[in-house]
Structure 1
Amino acid sequence: MARRASIACLGAGRMGRGIAVAFAYAGHQVTMIDVKARTEDDFARLEADALGEVRKTFTSLSKLGLLTEAEVEPLAARVSVLPARQSDVALSEAGMVFEGVPEIVELKREVLATASRQVGLDTIIASTTSTILVDDLSGVIVNPRRFLNVHWLNPAYLIPLVEVSPGKATDPAIIDEVKALLEGIGKVPVVCAATPGFIVPRIQALAMNEAARMVEEGVASAEEIDKAIRYGFGFRYAVLGLLEFIDWGGGDILYYASRYLEDALGSDRYRAPEVISRNMHEGRIGLRTGAGFLDYSGMDVDAYRAKRLQAMVDLLRHFGLARPPVIDRS
């Protein structure tokens, strides 16, 4: 794939606009293609709205210090919108195509099938669905080896993480190519199996539902729960991954805590998966034993801990919570 391949987005809605900003910021030409049949006046309104939002986003990023005011217009000029009837040239020249139409299987299949006939045989095509499995869509793609799902987190132009989910027919080389493209625009791609919820939506659904449940049960106010998430849950997991954190404290702690919560709250939603007890029996508790979900053998554990703790101190400074010690000098 060319270093700065042209990008086509099927759909000019929120996802298409976010992806357009991300790629245009990184130097790519981006064409958003309206997949809906419209009158000329209706299309003109959509085009003005889409390009207006792109320009507004770049303006907001300039106010946040990511670019200068003088750079707003050159960046926005990299993005265009075309009606479906004029999509042939844009698609035939695209280095990669992202589908971002509403989460309706039939609609996605129709749009993807049409686009896969208009692009080159080796042009990579990706859905951005957050709910539909890639293999529920791949059957309509001409040459499905070049098809996969690329799930962005909103706002797509800011959040670094992008979840890459290949299908059964996806060529592994295509996965590597997509990862390289995403890394080239400053994103952090992770590869996951084609399962409902991918990684982040699956974890955050549990966390969000539990937070809502605690409000419902009167455990704490919404404000107090969100404060706990910002300065406790989120603070730690901005530095340590969830599985890394299990290893940091020890899988045995999670095992016993899960058993207590399951019994005390009378719900199997706190039950630890079998892998937790299996790791314990195999001595894979975490840092203390040199292995857990991650392998720490041969690692300078003290240096590793110091690096993670330094990152937490940096976060304290970011939040304005780092204070000097109180010294009694009397």
Structure 2
Amino acid sequence: MASERIAIGCLGAGRMGRGIAVHFAYAGHPVTLFDLKPRAAGDFAALAAAAHDEIAATLSMLADLGLGDAAAVPAIAARVTILPAAEAAALRDMPVVFEGVPEILDLKRAALAEAAALMAPDAILASTTSTIMVDDLSPAVPNPARFLNAHWLNPAYLVPLVEISPGQHTDPAVTARLMETLESVGKVPVRCAPSPGFIIPRIQALAMNEAARLVEEGVASAEDIDRALRYGFSFRFGVLGMLEFIDWGGVDILHHASRYLESSLGDARYRAPAIVGRHMAEGKLGMGTGSGFLPWAEMDIAAHKRRRLGELIARLRAEGLARPPVLPPA
């Protein structure tokens, strides 16, 4: 599946469907957006025209920013077809279909049930929901073995990550096939258990609320907080994973910092989870002890550190902040 051109279907012609369409069309695949809402012919024509215009404009913007040739935009955009609800039978020709209707449980269940009845028996059906658990949706699908969640992050055509959350009935082979398909078009899929907020929304909700709280408490201006996040927080975490970063500095640093913040600010939200205490008790403090969240004993630590530092220097250069050393007078 990774090398062939496959037909991709998207339920819904809104922001998510259009973003997915841009990405797969850019990668050479034909994509069909299905507008599942019954509309008058004139209303559908207006929707389809707006969607086509937005997709073409997005591709043109990407070309202007160095991703592709502007001359190729019409041909890429032509890979995207938009069909009305009356032509949903075309779903039978789609090996992979993504559901992207609004985040309303009954609305999603209805769309999934309608699509599943029309699709080929071995086709993959994935919801792009960011809030609803896969097993809350799977009862709508007659064959839940071919159903799972695939959470794209906006803008879908740029952010590499897709969070894959199979349900209790999902066939592991279906999960593997979808991850292979996504990897073939340049995505970085990660698998996670069904859990509210998946991985990224759960972490970023905490970070965003804390940033807003800093403004509320008058700790710093919004501009300085964002500057600190850009050049400190995201600068490091764009290279080092968060758990890798804990191990890099040491689990004990997090343990003691959490205790201080909880005590000083009088708020249990800074309390470290039990796993941090267990790692402290077991001496699994990270890179320095050869054991932590990552399996450091199995790695060439010196080579790994050198590679990560090189990546940080590359980011420094990209920000225009890398400077040559000041040499002593000749």
TM-score norm. by structure 2 comes to 0.99
Q: Distance in 1 between matches of 2:5 and 2:198?
A: 28
Q: Which residue of 2 aligns with 1:313?
A: 313
Q: What is the one-letter code of the residue matched to 1:24?
A: A
Q: Distance in 1 between matches of 2:145 and 2:287?
A: 40
Alignment of structure 1 residues 141-152 onto 2, 5 Å: 141-152=141-152
Q: Report runs of 4+ in structure 1 exceeding 6 Å deviation.
A: none
Q: Distance in 2 between matches of 1:276 and 1:56?
A: 48
1:32-53 Cα deviation digits (max 9, x unpaired): 0001010000000000000110
Q: Distance in 1 between matches of 2:10 and 2:16?
A: 9
Q: What is the one-letter code of the residue matched to 1:306?
A: R
Alignment of structure 1 residues 267-306 onto 2, 5 Å: 267-306=267-306
Secondary structure, aligned partner of 1:236: helix
Secondary structure, aligned partner of 1:33: strand
User: How far off is 1:225 after superposition?
Assistant: 0.2
Q: Distance in 1 between matches of 2:328 and 2:184?
A: 52
Q: Which residue of 2 aligns with 1:62?
A: 63
User: How far off is 1:269 after superposition?
Assistant: 0.4
Q: Distance in 1 between matches of 2:12 and 2:89?
A: 15
TM-score norm. by structure 1 comes to 0.99
Structure 2, gaps ≥5 residues long? none
Q: Which residue of 2 aligns with 1:33?
A: 34
Q: Which residue of 2 aligns with 1:206?
A: 206
Q: Which residue of 1 aligns with 2:24?
A: 23
User: How far off is 1:75 after superposition?
Assistant: 0.3
Q: What is the one-letter code of the residue matched to 1:299?
A: M
User: How far off is 1:87 after superposition?
Assistant: 1.3
Alignment of structure 1 residues 33-182 onto 2, 5 Å: 33-89=34-90, 91-182=91-182
Q: What is the one-letter code of the residue matched to 1:96?
A: V
Q: Distance in 2 between matches of 1:298 and 1:144?
A: 38
1:115-163 Cα deviation digits (max 9, x unpaired): 0000011110000000011111000102100000000000000000110
User: How far off is 1:220 after superposition?
Assistant: 0.1
Identity over aligned pairs, percent: 60
Cα pair 1:18 1:157 within 8 Å, conserved:
yes
Q: Which residue of 2 aligns with 1:242?
A: 242
1:294-325 Cα deviation digits (max 9, x unpaired): 10114221111111111000000000000011
Q: What is the one-letter code of the residue matched to 2:247?
A: D
User: How far off is 1:328 after superposition?
Assistant: 2.5
Q: What is the one-letter code of the residue matched to 2:218?
A: G
Q: Distance in 2 between matches of 1:298 and 1:131?
A: 36
Q: How many residues align?
A: 329
Q: Which residue of 2 aligns with 1:187?
A: 187
Q: Which residue of 1 aligns with 2:5?
A: 4
Cα pair 2:95 2:122 within 8 Å, conserved:
no
Q: Distance in 2 between matches of 1:41 and 1:122?
A: 35
Cα pair 2:131 2:196 within 8 Å, conserved:
yes
1:72-106 Cα deviation digits (max 9, x unpaired): 011000001000101102x0000100000000000
Cα pair 2:10 2:32 within 8 Å, conserved:
yes
Secondary structure, aligned partner of 2:229: helix
Q: What is the one-letter code of the residue matched to 1:45?
A: A
Structure 1, gaps ≥5 residues long? none
Q: What is the one-letter code of the residue matched to 1:300?
A: D
Q: What is the one-letter code of the residue matched to 2:225?
A: I
Q: Distance in 1 between matches of 2:170 and 2:45?
A: 37
User: How far off is 1:59 after superposition?
Assistant: 0.4
Cα pair 2:10 2:100 within 8 Å, conserved:
yes
Cα pair 1:121 1:142 within 8 Å, conserved:
no
Q: What is the one-letter code of the residue matched to 1:53?
A: E
Q: Distance in 2 between matches of 1:160 and 1:298?
A: 27
Q: What is the one-letter code of the residue matched to 1:129?
A: T
RMSD over aligned Cα atoms:
0.8
Cα pair 1:21 1:58 within 8 Å, conserved:
yes
